[in-house]
Amino acid sequence: MHKKLKKFKKITFLTSLAIAQTAILNFANTVLAGSVTLKVYPLNPRGAFPICPTEINLTEQTRPYYEGGYTIDGKVQMGWLTKPFKIDSTDQFSVTWVAQLQLKYKNCEASAGIVTVNKEPYQGHSYLRMRFTKGNAYLILDMTGMYDVNGMTPVILKKDVNNGNPRWTWAGTD
């Protein structure tokens, strides 16, 4: 009876170990999605305060890990705030999308920057920003001043518009 108990414990341990290893491997390959919140800061008006949104929620998703770097896909849907976006300007460091503000927000004069990522306070460089001026909303993805662990500037790999909504991909080395 004692031998059977030892054998049972060994099989149970090995099964638990196999399950744990599978869970760890699956977690490592899981794509991590994150919410990014930009807080809107109105420009000090000379007259009545214009109607502005208080925050903008974006999504950034980390692709599965690969040797030597990381890649992040982002998108935002702002049909409630703007008409369809288009790319306004771009270079190797940044991209700016522009869209007309919806009538309700057309007088908004403000800027916005990252305040939380996954509902946790964010104190890093606000590489995603917005400005609202002259009836337009500008979304800016800017790698200027950003650096990865190897002291290199991350690269914007993709910048486009899907159904009027900005989408992007950026990457760095690790």
Instruction: Judge if 9 and 45 occupy the same domain.
Output: no
Q: Is it the case that residue 31 has pLDDT exceeding 60? A: no
138 closest CA partner among 109, 97, 169: 97
pLDDT tens per residue across span 43-78: 987 777 889 999 999 999 999 989 999 999 999 999
Cβ contacts of 118 within 8 Å, gap of 6 or more: 34, 35
Q: Which helix (H) or strand (E) holds 60?
A: strand 55-62
pTM assigned to the model: 0.80
What is the separation of C-alpha 169 from the centre of its chain, rounded to a whole number of angstroms?
10
Q: How confident is the model at residue 32 (pLDDT cuts 50, 70, 90)?
A: low
Instruction: Judge if 129 and 56 occupy the same domain.
Output: yes
Q: What percent of the chain has pLDDT over 70?
A: 81
pLDDT value of position 5: 53
Cβ contacts of 161 within 8 Å, gap of 6 or more: 84, 85, 86, 87, 97, 167
Mean pLDDT across 115-144:
97
Instruction: Judge if 153 and 71 occupy the same domain.
Output: yes
Instruction: Judge if 51 and 114 occupy the same domain.
Output: yes
Instruction: Judge if 41 and 23 occupy the same domain.
Output: no
Phi/psi for 152 (5° steps) reads: -110, 150
